Amino acid sequence: MKIGIYLRSVASSRGAEQVAAAIARGLAARGHPVDLIVEDSGGWLLEELAAHVPPVGVVVLGTFASGRLGHRMAQARAVASAFLRPSGWRRAGTAWVAPFLRVIRRDDPPLAALARYVSQARPDVLLSLLNYPNLVLALLAPLVGDRVRRVVSVHNHLSTAAARSESRWVRSVPALMRRFLRDVDAIVATSHGVAADLEALAGPAAGAVRVIHNPGYRPEADQLAAEPSGHPWLDAPGPPVVLGVGKLKPQKDFATLLRAFARLRRARSARLVILGEGSEREALLALAKELGIGDDVDLPGFVRNPYPFYARSAVFALSSAWEGFGNVVVEALACGCSVVSTDCPSGPAEILDGGRFGRLVPVGDDAALAAALVSTLDAPQAPETSRARARDFSLDAAIAAWEALLAGSDETSRPEGRRRA
């Protein structure tokens, strides 16, 4: 198969971006020509892919731009396709109309450029990841018809994200998905919780949602973990370190982790390191100071290789209010690190098998999180038990599932009643 994997950017080179790169490498290793399609170039992941053997092509959509006229024609055809199916929009309601028009009127050219890519590169299948690329891929139907199989991958618990977000775009995503999921060939969720959420949101439009867990386990985890962390709290003897990893944004709820750590610090000596960047950095530092734990909290920013941090920390803590999967949980387990996580929708509880491989606590409950951290420090999980669980989320298992689905041999993924353009 000739495969195109589409997402807007890999500039952050974390989360879904790393998943996309791993899928690209895995499919290329099985002999499939693969292009990673992005709108913005840049990011160290692109450098890795360029050096990968066998190679993964990197396509910047701007090179397939067809000019303003071509983009306007693509917009017009997408609008016509959306509104000339009255039974479709009556079933889905009208909440999707305003956000759809806002998106389709954008001046950037991904819709027309992606159609031009299909015409010139002639892929057999396109896979998109994340909300905006998923919408663009659904809207591609009137431009490409049956020439390419279109698969969307959903990486977040959409109803919770929409309910908690201040972004008008994110709040509109459930309505858009309810309307346009019927226009793709297959839908993939990163966890069973995300799949159930999609089916509840979209109903018959979602058809049968296939679950393929992210390939969070890297076989080179031991080698990566053996490198120095470069952090004085981890590369020298000292109090146990609690580790958090993720973007510093409301979804990750690091404020609850700080409050839990403050409770822990009243009972014993410990330190907290949180890796990641984001809009809440200054607020989190201020909260740490207010709680009197500023000297024992460090936010070093984004770290390209977090594995030495996992390997040298006493416990990894996930405090998220919601997740789509939770790659960082698998990464921590792969390094033999004990895990405490919120039982958030959704993904971490699946990875931890309902608490068998790590402690689960309610979302937003700093007292319960602190108690679980204390219990884990007193009785950590056997490192080999953690590593064995991480191996359940291997690249080989994920790529075998992706290969079957992209080829169309997994018929459970085909939405019922989907219409062809």
> CB–CB of 140/114 below 8 Å?
yes
Residue 284's pLDDT is what?
Answer: 98
* Model pLDDT for residues 212-238, shown as the tens digit of each residue: 999 999 989 999 999 999 999 999 899
Beta strands of 141-196 (E only): which ranges? 149-154, 186-189
CA–CA dist 271, 297 (Å, integer): 6
CA–CA dist 209, 394 (Å, integer): 21
DSSP 380: P
Residue 91's pLDDT is what?
Answer: 55
Mean pLDDT, the chain, whole residue set = 88
Where do you find CATH 3.40.50.2000 in the chain? 3-215+396-413, 221-392
Under the banding of pLDDT at 50, 70 and 90, the label for residue 106 is low
* Model pLDDT for residues 302-315, shown as the tens digit of each residue: 999 999 999 999 99
Which tops the pLDDT comparison, 77 or 360? 360
Collapsed DSSP state (helix, strand, coil) of residue 127: strand
271 backbone dihedrals φ, ψ, rounded to 5°: -135, 155
The CATH number for 221-392, chosen from 3.40.50.360, 3.10.20.810, 3.40.50.2000, 3.30.1360.120, is: 3.40.50.2000
Please name the amino acid found at residue 67: G
Q: Which residue(s) pair with 360 in the sheet?
A: 341
Which tops the pLDDT comparison, 12 or 279? 279
Residue 87's pLDDT is what?
Answer: 52
Q: In b/e form, how buried is each residue of 104-128, taking b as 16+ CB within 10 angstroms?
A: beeeebbbbbbbbbbeebebbbbbb
Long-range contacts of 53-59 (CB under 8 A, 24+ apart): 54/28, 54/29, 55/28, 56/21, 56/24, 56/25, 56/28, 57/33, 59/4, 59/35, 59/117, 59/121
Under the banding of pLDDT at 50, 70 and 90, the label for residue 270 is very high
Residue 417's pLDDT is what?
Answer: 38
Q: Global pTM?
A: 0.89
Indicate whether 365 pLDDT > 90.
yes
Question: In sequence order, which residues have a C-beta less than 8 Å from that of residue 197 and are 6 or more positions away?
Answer: 157, 158, 159, 160, 345, 346
CA–CA dist 294, 354 (Å, integer): 33
Stretch 264-273: mean pLDDT = 97
Which tops the pLDDT comparison, 308 or 169? 308
Domain 3-215+396-413 belongs in CATH node 3.40.50.2000: yes
Indicate whether 415 pLDDT > 80.
no
Write down the residue that tokens 């984001």 correspond to.
Answer: 278
